[in-house]
């Protein structure tokens, strides 16, 4: 086997095993659309945690000890997001921005939200209509001729309320963290297909 063939085979094996995501594969956007990857305004975040909660209510009849049916109860999404502290007004100045910035922050998707733009109630409560998490790994690109078709898992949250803004300082010299709690009305998971044209990298076709 020639050196070129051996290199190609090793590259194919490496690409085939690159199916998992790490923290460097995660991007978070505010605004945009739930179906268009890379749309909206990108957040400079440090970490994020969230847990959707859906309660279930059992219904019993008077003749049995087992529930006769299960009803869906209240649902909510709770989470925590940490940001590298840059400016004291990084989150609270989200309304006081340029027109171009406002265009990125506007939610343009098809799911109903309370507002289409972020709203700051005070220094401790901030609303955004849509926050999307993209899991995209450049190593997962599968080149074929001049195009690559990849699958990008996404998680969208709607009617998100950030609260808190707790400053966390560690004595080890690590970056100062600005930590917010948040609650969202609903969450949707979906896999979005993207086709990238290598001849024109700016041309990104998103579908389904």
Between 16 and 174, residue with greater pLDDT: 174
The percent of residues above 90 in pLDDT, for the chain, comes to 47
Element at 67 (helix H, strand E) = none
- The per-type count for the chain, helices as H runs and strands as E runs, is 2, 10
The answer to whether 161 touches 127, Cβ cutoff 8 Å, is yes
Tens-digit pLDDT profile for residues 101-112:
788 899 999 999
Q: What pLDDT, on the 0 to 100 scale, is given for residue 2?
A: 47
Mean pLDDT of the chain: 82
pLDDT 10s digits, 176-192:
999 999 999 999 999 88
Q: Please provide the DSSP assignment of 50-117 as one string.
A: EEEEEEEEEE--TT-SS-SEEEEEEEEEEEEEEEE---TTTTTTSSS--HHHHHHHSB-SSS--S-SS
Mean pLDDT to the nearest integer, 142-151: 61
Average pLDDT of the residues in 53-71: 91
When comparing pLDDT for 5 and 184, which is higher? 184
pTM of the predicted protein model: 0.79
Domain range summary for the chain, segments of one domain joined by +: 20-57+69-141+154-190
Any idea which fold 20-57+69-141+154-190 has? Pnp Oxidase; Chain A (2.30.110)
């Amino acid at each position: 086997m020639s050196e070129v063939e051996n290199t190609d085979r090793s590259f194919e094996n490496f690409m085939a095993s690159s199916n998992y995501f790490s923290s460097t594969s995660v991007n978070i956007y505010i605004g945009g659309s739930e179906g268009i990857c890379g749309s909206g305004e990108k957040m400079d975040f440090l970490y994020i945690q969230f847990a959707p909660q859906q309660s279930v209510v059992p219904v019993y009849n008077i003749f049995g000890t087992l529930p006769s049916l299960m009803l869906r109860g209240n649902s909510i999404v709770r989470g925590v997001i940490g940001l590298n502290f840059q400016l004291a007004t990084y989150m609270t100045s989200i309304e006081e921005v340029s027109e171009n910035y406002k265009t990125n922050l506007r939610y343009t998707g098809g799911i109903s939200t309370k507002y289409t733009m972020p709203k700051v109630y005070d220094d401790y409560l901030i609303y955004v209509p849509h926050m999307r998490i993209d899991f995209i790994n450049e190593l997962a690109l599968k080149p074929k001729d001049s195009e690559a078709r990849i699958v990008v898992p996404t998680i969208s949250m709607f009617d998100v309320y950030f609260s808190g803004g707790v400053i966390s300082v560690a004595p080890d010299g690590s970056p100062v963290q600005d930590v917010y709690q948040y609650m969202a009305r609903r969450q949707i998971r979906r896999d979005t297909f993207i086709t990238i044209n290598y001849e024109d990298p700016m041309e990104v076709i998103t579908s389904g």
